[in-house]
């Protein structure tokens, strides 16, 4: 009985569909989805930031976004991009403004990537924002009134940063980090620079010992993040005892006319 009802319905539906479309233009061919293509471009750009033609001119460091946002930002804790878009627009004390996710992304080019802020509305800005937003699909919006961070932000370590011992950090660095990042900090084929001219600048979050320590604990050594709070803090103090590029904001902002573009059709 039930099966026969279903069969009747199926026949009806087929019949109806046939009648409606007969002699009329059919539904448009499912075109390649431009939004999905933009998300895919953003994913590529966070991985190839320093080499891709759309972003390389905006990057000064030998770093990509994914040098710190591990696994294309899908690492659950180490500067994760998961759920991040739910927090924006957010209050940013550093900027003294409420900022958008796009602002946050562009500021990372100036600071963590020691480069120049790409124009708002430019192709890389929109693509990276689309990719990061796609990683919050289905998550409830909860704009952050305290700071520009998503719900998975790196938690501070429960250790007093004033107790850091860079000499102990030097030994640990040689044991646990030097093979990949080089004893002179300039990086190797197995790991990017962690200080020196091709590293992130003094405006980056990781230039603060306590932020670097908290991130290291979740992220490094790569695939073996087993440092204790004490070890992470000592190593962070050692790494950040070395010089890296200064941050003078005027040197990282393009001329006013290039801060944003109208990116629609005219
Ligand atoms: C040198 C390391 C480093 C690089 C390179 C870097 N970032 Fe970040 N970024 C961080 C850290 C650390 C945070 C703070 C994460 C936290 O507290 O959870 C952060 C925060 C962010 C946030 C805010 C996350 C949130 O919770 O709201 C966004 C968005 C972001 N970065 C995007 C980018 C993009 C896009 C790039 C490349 C253009 C980039 N970052 C390059 C280290 C880096
Ligand atoms: C097996 C090699 C390896 C080891 C060991 C290792 N790293 Fe990394 N590290 C990497 C790679 C590779 C990246 C970039 C992540 C990516 O591209 O996926 C990275 C990223 C980083 C970054 C952020 C990007 C940058 O270069 O500023 C810092 C800081 C860092 N590592 C510090 C350390 C410290 C400190 C240690 C020791 C506790 C350590 N790493 C151990 C391979 C390693």
pLDDT class of 25 with cuts at 50, 70, 90: low
Q: What is the pLDDT of residue 21?
A: 42
CATH class of the domain comprising 34-152: mainly alpha
Is ligand 1 within 6 A of the CB of residue 58?
Answer: no
73: left (phi over 0), alpha (psi -120 to 50) or beta: left
Given a cut of 70, is residue 17 above it in pLDDT? Answer: no
Q: What is the pLDDT of residue 263?
A: 87
**Nearest-atom index, ligand 2, CA of 206:** 29
Helix, strand or coil for residue 255?
coil
CATH topology of domain 161-239: Cytochrome Bc1 Complex; Chain D, domain 2 (1.10.760)
**Nearest-atom index, ligand 1, CA of 199:** 1
| pTM listed for this prediction | 0.90
Q: What is the pLDDT of residue 108?
A: 98
Instruction: List the one residue out of 185, 82, 74, 75 whose CA is nearest residue 133.
Output: 82
Is ligand 1 within 6 A of the CB of residue 109?
Answer: yes
Residues of the chain with CATH 1.10.760.10: 34-152, 161-239
Gap from CA of 167 to ligand 2 centroid (Å): 20
Closest ligand by atom to 105 CA: 1
Q: What are phi and psi of 261, to 5 degrees?
A: -130, 150
**Average pLDDT score over residue span 17-21:** 40
* Digit-coded pLDDT (tens) for 125-167: 999 999 999 999 999 999 999 999 999 999 999 999 999 999 9
Is ligand 1 within 6 A of the CB of residue 87?
Answer: yes
Q: What is the pLDDT of residue 19?
A: 39
- Closest protein CA for atom 16 of ligand 2: 67
DSSP code, position 195: S
What percentage of residues in the chain have a pLDDT greater than 70?
Answer: 88
HSE-CB for 224 with a 13 A CA cutoff: 3
Q: What is the pLDDT of residue 32?
A: 79
Q: What is the pLDDT of residue 31?
A: 58
Given a cut of 60, is residue 3 above it in pLDDT? Answer: no
Handedness of CA 12, 14, 15, 16 (dihedral sign): positive
Question: Which string of DSSP letters, residue by residue, matches 90-153?
Answer: EEETTTTEEE-HHHHHHHHHHTTT-S-PPPBTSHHHHHHHHHHHHTTTTPPP---SS-S--TTP
> Mean pLDDT over all residues of the chain?
91
């Amino acid at each position: 009985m039930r099966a026969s009802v279903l069969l009747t319905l199926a026949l009806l539906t087929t019949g109806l569909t046939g009648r409606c479309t007969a002699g009329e233009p059919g539904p448009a061919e499912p075109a390649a989805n431009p939004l999905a293509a933009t998300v895919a471009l953003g994913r590529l750009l966070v991985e190839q930031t320093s080499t891709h033609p759309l972003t390389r001119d905006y990057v000064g460091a030998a770093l990509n976004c994914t040098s710190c946002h591990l696994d294309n930002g899908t690492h659950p804790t180490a500067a994760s991009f998961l759920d991040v878009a739910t927090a924006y627009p957010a209050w940013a004390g550093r900027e003294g403004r409420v900022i958008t996710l796009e602002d946050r992304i562009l500021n990372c080019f100036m600071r963590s990537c020691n480069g120049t802020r790409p124009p708002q509305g430019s192709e890389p800005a929109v693509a990276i924002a689309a990719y990061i937003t796609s990683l919050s699909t289905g998550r409830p919006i909860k704009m952050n009134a305290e700071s520009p961070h998503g719900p998975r932000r790196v938690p501070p370590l429960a250790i007093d940063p004033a107790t850091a011992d860079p000499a102990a950090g030097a030994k640990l660095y040689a044991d646990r980090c030097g093979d990949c990042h080089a004893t002179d900090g300039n990086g190797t084929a197995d790991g990017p620079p962690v200080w020196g001219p091709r590293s992130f600048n003094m405006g980056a979050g990781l230039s603060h010992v306590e932020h670097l320590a908290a991130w290291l604990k979740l992220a490094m050594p790569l695939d073996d993040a087993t440092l204790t709070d004490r070890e992470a803090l000592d190593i962070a103090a050692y790494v950040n005892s070395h010089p890296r590029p200064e941050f003078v904001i005027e040197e990282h902002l393009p001329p006013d006319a290039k801060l944003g573009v109208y990116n629609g059709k005219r």
